[in-house]
Structure 1
Amino acid sequence: MFGLKSQVAAAFSLALAGTQVACAEQTDFNKVGRQMAIMLQNSHFDRANQSFKELSDDFLATYLRDLDYGRIYFTQKDVDRFQSEYGERLASMLLEEDSMDAANDIYQIFVERVEARVAQANELLSGDEFDFTQPETIMRTRKDAAWPKDEKEAEDLFRKQIKESLLSEKLRREMLMKLAKEQSKEDLFKDERSPEDKIKLRYERFLHSVKDVDSDDVATYFLSAVAKTFDPHTDYLSFKQMERFRDDMRNQLVGIGALLQAEEDGATKIMGIVVNGPADRAGELRLNDRVVGVDPTNSGRPEDMVDIMFMKIDKVVDLIRGNEGSEVRLKVEPAGGVPGETQMIVIQRGKVELKDEQATAEVIDVAGKEEEKQRIGFITLPSFYADFDAGDTRCSTDVEVLLQRLIDEKIDGLVLDLRNNGGGSLEEVRRMTGFFTNRLPVVQVKNTLGQVQVKESDNRRPMYSGPMVVLVDKSSASASEILAGALQDDNRAVIVGESSTFGKGTVQQPMDIGRHMPLFAESRRAGTLKVTIQKFYRPSGSSTQNQGVIPDVLLPSLMDALEIGEKYLDHALDHDVIRPAPGFDPMPKANLFVPRLQELSEKRVEASKDFSYILEDVAREKKRREGNDVSLVLATRQAELADADKLQKGRNAERRERFATMEEGDKKQFTFYKLTLDDANEEQALKLFDPTEEASGNMRRAKDKTEELDTTPEWPSGLDPFKREALSVLGDLIDVTRDAKMAGMLKSSNLR
């Protein structure tokens, strides 16, 4: 679970649906807390090194951090009181079934502080204008800042916070109006609220989100904080959160098939509609429509229409939930209609397939010298999804289908794109590794007793044994790192990407807390403990924890300037090394020609204007983050924006000219064919496609007004610098492998 502010800030959520369990009795979360505490002590991987009672202060610190990440609401006086009353006692209170009073007390103070600050914001924004000539600054991040010592300091800190918010909104408006005027699109902002009103509404929505909670919500925030104190990936999930987790993993849900966004004025906006989903088939709901009420049972009775203004997105989602075939009634303000006028739309709930999250593939024909041609297969895998319940949906099955079709198309090399793949099912990655290797160790898994289990791939012979590149970035995590690490250890593939992958090297297991509750306790909505029970190790013995997988061919990235990765998370477990797996016998590393590939890639990167821009941005961002102050002087900020605008316009002008030339060259060099699962299953002929055209995908999406003003040119042929370089690296690998074969220079392995 994310911290409370992160939940409020999360703009998008799919309207889900599923069976809601009616609960006559209220779950006693004191009992849930005790049972979770026992389970943590018995099951957590690092339990031998973490005394539960000694973590009491950390439980409190994590709870306060999750509620008030920016340290602007609680004062040091509040924190001292919490520390005095609960700091050394929270662990005991959990075990004694007495923790919820503390959780509720702290949360109630948080509500009071937010109410006071929002009232202050309204007063400041309704009064005289701020003086933006005064030489004031505010910290860019307050993660490690001191709490305001008293109410006076808290008020002054929040005054600066409001001042910065207003200044940023004024500058944003000024910039957008300038762009709109340049493009003769001034009408885009004719109905725009004043900056002051926008900031007021922003804080009003936050206040509603803080106050619109029940005992289940507070318990979830608190128990999640306790769990995360053991490590970043151990967590408490409420009954509803666990249902959503299952939907995410199976890539299918039951709902209306709409993407929702919380609007600052309290409404919920329709930002996307799944093609051929229930809302799309019904035909009445439109992009940019604003939902203001929900009748979850479509009773038609006025008293059953729930006012959802300023309601949190997850609660709106829950109202739209229901059984397949049931109906939901939405009260909607139509996009482009008369303000305030509404209409009723009834939609029958149904299954929604998230095809945009499924594996897809491309065939890319690359023209070479003297009419030589390389045929490249490119598989994109967004996650290692699997239906844990029915088992009908498996990403390994989908990749197998796509890979077989690529093999049938006689590809010369393969790129597997794992960028932004946060992981998923361990069983899926184990099975998938076998598509590319002989049967060998994929991953070693160590439990809390130090016992190590080796998981091997299934196949005795690989489906595909040709040249292969795996493309990764900082967001490639968990299962992605297992696959990339196994193929790298086996010297089976060349890993290309950012400085490292995420570094999540732990295994979590969901445990139903209700099953462990006392016999007569109300436990149906007790929730789930997602607890770290094991640690991953590569076949070579190195953990991916904290360190991640270091690519063979490194590419510059703006992510190098940001604190992204396991090592930046609170309470992350350490990196360590164990013995190599029994039977670990990698192929000859010389057969990958990594030094030669690095040399060729470095020359291209040095010559690339786009990678040079990235390196400039990395240096600029690092410098910006080192000085943790943001100016509140209008002239200073305007000058900064003017410099950034000048830089961007200069780059865009250069890119437009260069990209036009690149596009012409690409037309001669590349031919693109799209391959979806439907295409592969039906064995249709390959479909030519233009990657520069915007793909509709499985969802129609609304555009934000600011998107309409963005004049940044699209990447030529839809190839961003990382994808383009991955294709080049693979092309080099194909060439040098072919030349080595012809010269009889490939080294052999006794076992292969």
Structure 2
Amino acid sequence: MQGKLIKTIKCKAAAVAVLCAASTQVACGQQADFNQVGCQMAIMLQNSHFDRSRQPFKELSDDFLATYLRDLDYGRVYFTQSDIDRFDKEYGDRLSQMLLEKDSMRAALDIYKTFVERVEKRVADGQEMLKNDAFDFTKEESVMRSRKEAAWPKDEAEATELWRKQIKEALLSETLRREMVVKLAKEQNKEDLFKDERDPKEKILLRYERFLHSVKDVDDADIAAYFLSAVAKTFDPHTDYLSFRQMERFRDGMRNQLVGIGALLQAEEDGATKIMGIVVGGPADRAGELKLNDRVVAVDPLNSGRPEDLVDIMFMKIDKVVELIRGKENTEVRLKVEPAGGLPGETTMVVIKRGKVELKDEQASAELIERTGPDGSKQRIGVITLPSFYADFDGGTTRCSLDIEKLLRRLMVEKIDGLILDLRSNGGGALEEVRRMTGFFTKRQPVVQVKNTLGQVQVKESENRRPIYDGPMVVMTDKSSASASEILAGALQDENRAVIVGESSTFGKGTVQQPMDIGRQMPFFADREKAGNLKVTIQKFYRPSGSSTQNLGVVPDVILPSLTDALEIGESYLDHALDHDIIRPAPGFDPLPKANLFLPRLKELSSERLDKSKDFAYIIEDVSKERSRRRENQVSLNLEKRRTELEDADERQRVRNEERRKRFAEVAKRDASQMKFYELSLDAVEAQAPLKQVDPSDEKSDYMRRAKDKTAELDTTPEWPSRLDPFKREALAVTADLVEITRNAKMAGMLKSSESR
């Protein structure tokens, strides 16, 4: 990735399903000297990081150590206080110097080796407890829900007792989960989902065995990545070290395309890797041999057919399984597979030719909703959804701004009266795409101000002389809207161009990162290959009005209640986050008349709807309960008490579902008489296909065939009517209000003039 980036890398646990991505593999070469890499990264951090005002590098040793220990043992259940005391004595005030003296890997390896030993001990203890202990679930015991601020266990005895409770809680949760699933299955006359399952104790044993394998299945490069990432993140949450493998995945995500077999993988607790999805039209789908729920147990990355090239992947981390399946386009990979529904021990070989896979669920998309009012008047409202600000900076043509422009121009042809831009869960991306995209909705205006390490401020303007679309507009945001999303939402809000509707604020990431190839900065004769990249914060961005989005985020004009109000989500909750500040407004900043957004009236109408909304009332109730749970920070280990809690929650959900089914039926009937839904994909725009009316109750076409989750199918919670969740439905109502009020104001000649622009 080249240029200035503001995309947050999302780390996922090994058990989470991931798309089997592929990029061109480089030939195996000599591994980089990570002591040298650490030294060079330390120099680059001091020279390039935006915040020059923080503590001197030599005074950050304690922070480096604390971050590394937190990343390894977030729940504070493996290390003991005596371990922490030793690490602090040996490295607490020396890590900075060790980095500069090319000696940091000694500390990184020592700490990680101790971590592995502690995990081995805990897992062995857990195995012994699960095999021999008869856990007493009648006792009044509890564990902390979150141990983020807890003290480290003072010694091995306290650590063992804490671990006993952790094992007990895992076993209790699994037992109660099965009880609930069996109960639901019986109520719905469905099969016993656990007839072929291992018993709860064995399942927990396998879960910890898998974790132990993931901890031990590392090399020096992995440990270096863990440690150097901790050092980098001590400067701010988005400065990071990216290994060669991580950088390849980063590039794939930004270009929204990858080379692979087109399969969704999931780590199974017994060690295998399960096929949970197959991309329609992708390499695996075209080959036709790999099936949903098949289990991959070995990989021959070269398809040589030689037994010695077949790599056993049992208990291997998902990212390493993915790397084995990686390769150049049009080369073949051989998978050893246990077929779904096959006989015990049955295996087969599946050969697949690697190819390009488009991540269509990450592409921009659109729809058109036609509403008929009580008086028979019609409104055509376009909805554009943008999951991320993707762009291929390696010479490709993939750019989200081009895709948005195509969709927007097509919606204009369809004569929309209002527009919703949905930026929910959009974590950011390429800064240049934001600048270009803002110009689709405004005249040439400042979009963002960017301040560098020297305090110099550069103003970036939109490039269009006149907008493509200048009608009523709403932007949807949530707590996961970050970075580039906040620039776009903030610019349109400052410009008084759009009404922002969403959760209490956006994420609050107001910094710009740039990946720097560490190998290029190292001495000429050093081992540079696979040295990795430093993704470093080099700039801070500010809205045209001068306010940073850092920590504060973008506060919507119309705020909707959300469960995230009770959760610690956002930049302000992250360790080492930079401060919020304000600079002067951008030169030439000349917003539209704010009165033309009619915000007081829109808020009044929205508030009236929220007061009557059962779904938002449920959300407010859940927020209160979640806040109470987080304050208590205790989970009971008493079976009857937990069973009562679950039964109460189940009854509460049952009552809600019963109420919703009746209400949703009425809402769906009303929607059918008042709304028509039209689907608009990029493929349809390219083909100049006519708008396709869809039944919103039908399953949406998916670019991937997915394995069924039989447990999830027991959930009787009804689907949102017309697939409009409460947030999208309210945004649609706000847009309709804005369209109607604007139309009436125009007719009455009441719109404020913006001729000064």
| Bucket of the pairwise TM-score, normalised by the shorter protein | over 0.9
Q: Which residue matches 1:70?
A: 75
Given that residues 234 and 532 in structure 1 are in contact (C-alpha distance below 8 angstroms), is that contact kept between their aligned partners in structure 2?
Answer: yes
Residue 102 of structure 1 aligns with an amino acid whose one-letter code is: A
Given that residues 8 and 312 in structure 1 are in contact (C-alpha distance below 8 angstroms), is that contact kept between their aligned partners in structure 2?
Answer: no
TM-score normalised by the chain length of structure 2: 0.98
3-state secondary structure, aligned to 1:664: helix
In 2, Cα distance between the equivalents of 1:716 and 1:340? Answer: 46
| 1:209-358 paired onto structure 2 within 5 Å | 209-358=214-363
The reply to whether residue 691 of structure 1 matches residue 662 of structure 2 is no
Residue 124 of structure 1 aligns with an amino acid whose one-letter code is: M
Most deviating of 335-344 and 92-101? 335-344
Could you list the per-position Cα deviations for residues 438-487 of structure 1 after superposition, in whole angstroms to 9, with x for gaps in the alignment?
00000000011111000000101000000000000000000000000000
Residue 101 of structure 1 aligns with an amino acid whose one-letter code is: R
Q: How much does 1:338 deviate?
A: 1.2
3-state secondary structure, aligned to 1:662: helix
Q: How much does 1:681 deviate?
A: 1.5
127, 140, 149: which one aligns with 2:145: 140
3-state secondary structure, aligned to 1:667: helix
Given that residues 112 and 223 in structure 2 are in contact (C-alpha distance below 8 angstroms), is that contact kept between their aligned partners in structure 1?
Answer: yes
The root-mean-square deviation of aligned C-alpha atoms, in Å, is: 1.4
In 2, Cα distance between the equivalents of 1:473 and 1:747? Answer: 30
Residue 341 of structure 2 aligns with an amino acid whose one-letter code is: G
The reply to whether residue 718 of structure 1 matches residue 723 of structure 2 is yes
| 1:53-452 paired onto structure 2 within 5 Å | 53-452=58-457
Q: Which residue matches 2:3?
A: none
Could you list the per-position Cα deviations for residues 161-184 of structure 1 after superposition, in whole angstroms to 9, with x for gaps in the alignment?
000000000000110111111111
3-state secondary structure, aligned to 1:186: coil
Identity, in percent, stands at 75
Given that residues 4 and 66 in structure 1 are in contact (C-alpha distance below 8 angstroms), is that contact kept between their aligned partners in structure 2?
Answer: no
Residue 443 of structure 1 aligns with an amino acid whose one-letter code is: V
In 1, Cα distance between the equivalents of 2:394 and 2:592? Answer: 37
Q: How much does 1:9 deviate?
A: 4.5
3-state secondary structure, aligned to 1:371: coil
| 1:524-603 paired onto structure 2 within 5 Å | 524-603=529-608
Count how many residue pairs are aligned between Structure 1 and Structure 2: 752
Q: How much does 1:15 deviate?
A: 1.1
The reply to whether residue 639 of structure 1 matches residue 661 of structure 2 is no
Given that residues 360 and 676 in structure 1 are in contact (C-alpha distance below 8 angstroms), is that contact kept between their aligned partners in structure 2?
Answer: yes
The reply to whether residue 674 of structure 1 matches residue 684 of structure 2 is no
Given that residues 14 and 267 in structure 2 are in contact (C-alpha distance below 8 angstroms), is that contact kept between their aligned partners in structure 1?
Answer: no
In 2, Cα distance between the equivalents of 1:50 and 1:525? Answer: 30
- Runs of 4+ in structure 1 over 4 Å off: 2-7
Question: Please, which runs of 5 or more residues in structure 1 have no aligned partner?
Answer: none
Could you list the per-position Cα deviations for residues 564-618 of structure 1 after superposition, in whole angstroms to 9, with x for gaps in the alignment?
0000000000000000000001000000000000000000011011010001000
**Cα 1:4/1:599, change in 2 over 3 Å:** closer
Q: How much does 1:751 deviate?
A: 2.9
Q: How much does 1:705 deviate?
A: 2.2
**Cα 1:574/1:267, change in 2 over 3 Å:** same
Q: How much does 1:50 deviate?
A: 3.0
Could you list the per-position Cα deviations for residues 55-84 of structure 1 after superposition, in whole angstroms to 9, with x for gaps in the alignment?
110000000000000000000000000000
Given that residues 23 and 252 in structure 2 are in contact (C-alpha distance below 8 angstroms), is that contact kept between their aligned partners in structure 1?
Answer: no
Given that residues 142 and 636 in structure 2 are in contact (C-alpha distance below 8 angstroms), is that contact kept between their aligned partners in structure 1?
Answer: yes
3-state secondary structure, aligned to 2:192: helix
Q: How much does 1:304 deviate?
A: 1.0
Given that residues 295 and 305 in structure 1 are in contact (C-alpha distance below 8 angstroms), is that contact kept between their aligned partners in structure 2?
Answer: yes
**Cα 1:5/1:378, change in 2 over 3 Å:** closer
Residue 554 of structure 2 aligns with an amino acid whose one-letter code is: V
In 1, Cα distance between the equivalents of 2:102 and 2:355? Answer: 41
Q: Which residue matches 1:49?
A: 54
In 2, Cα distance between the equivalents of 1:391 and 1:587? Answer: 36
Question: Please, which runs of 5 or more residues in structure 2 have no aligned partner?
Answer: 1-6
Most deviating of 198-207 and 18-27? 18-27
Q: Which residue matches 1:40?
A: 45
Q: Which residue matches 1:612?
A: 617
3-state secondary structure, aligned to 1:531: strand
In 2, Cα distance between the equivalents of 1:666 and 1:257? Answer: 37
Q: Which residue matches 1:517?
A: 522
In 2, Cα distance between the equivalents of 1:671 and 1:289? Answer: 40
Residue 104 of structure 2 aligns with an amino acid whose one-letter code is: S
Q: Which residue matches 1:463?
A: 468
Q: How much does 1:685 deviate?
A: 0.6
**Cα 1:105/1:4, change in 2 over 3 Å:** farther
Residue 662 of structure 1 aligns with an amino acid whose one-letter code is: V
Given that residues 679 and 692 in structure 2 are in contact (C-alpha distance below 8 angstroms), is that contact kept between their aligned partners in structure 1?
Answer: yes
Given that residues 31 and 529 in structure 2 are in contact (C-alpha distance below 8 angstroms), is that contact kept between their aligned partners in structure 1?
Answer: no
In 2, Cα distance between the equivalents of 1:358 and 1:17? Answer: 19
Given that residues 366 and 373 in structure 1 are in contact (C-alpha distance below 8 angstroms), is that contact kept between their aligned partners in structure 2?
Answer: yes
482, 502, 515: which one aligns with 1:477: 482
3-state secondary structure, aligned to 2:193: helix
3-state secondary structure, aligned to 2:582: coil
Q: How much does 1:676 deviate?
A: 0.3
Could you list the per-position Cα deviations for residues 313-371 of structure 1 after superposition, in whole angstroms to 9, with x for gaps in the alignment?
00000000001010000011111111221110000000001111100000110011221
In 2, Cα distance between the equivalents of 1:3 and 1:435? Answer: 25
3-state secondary structure, aligned to 2:366: strand
Residue 674 of structure 2 aligns with an amino acid whose one-letter code is: Q
Residue 72 of structure 1 aligns with an amino acid whose one-letter code is: V
Could you list the per-position Cα deviations for residues 111-144 of structure 1 after superposition, in whole angstroms to 9, with x for gaps in the alignment?
0000000000100000132000111110000011
Could you list the per-position Cα deviations for residues 194-225 of structure 1 after superposition, in whole angstroms to 9, with x for gaps in the alignment?
11011000000000000000010000000000
Could you list the per-position Cα deviations for residues 264-284 of structure 1 after superposition, in whole angstroms to 9, with x for gaps in the alignment?
110101111111000000011
492, 495, 500: which one aligns with 2:497: 492
In 1, Cα distance between the equivalents of 2:671 and 2:722? Answer: 7
Residue 712 of structure 2 aligns with an amino acid whose one-letter code is: E
Q: How much does 1:10 deviate?
A: 4.7
Given that residues 542 and 578 in structure 1 are in contact (C-alpha distance below 8 angstroms), is that contact kept between their aligned partners in structure 2?
Answer: yes
In 2, Cα distance between the equivalents of 1:621 and 1:589? Answer: 37
Q: How much does 1:27 deviate?
A: 1.0
Given that residues 4 and 67 in structure 1 are in contact (C-alpha distance below 8 angstroms), is that contact kept between their aligned partners in structure 2?
Answer: no
3-state secondary structure, aligned to 2:229: helix
3-state secondary structure, aligned to 1:616: helix
Q: How much does 1:4 deviate?
A: 14
Q: How much does 1:5 deviate?
A: 13
Q: How much does 1:516 deviate?
A: 0.3
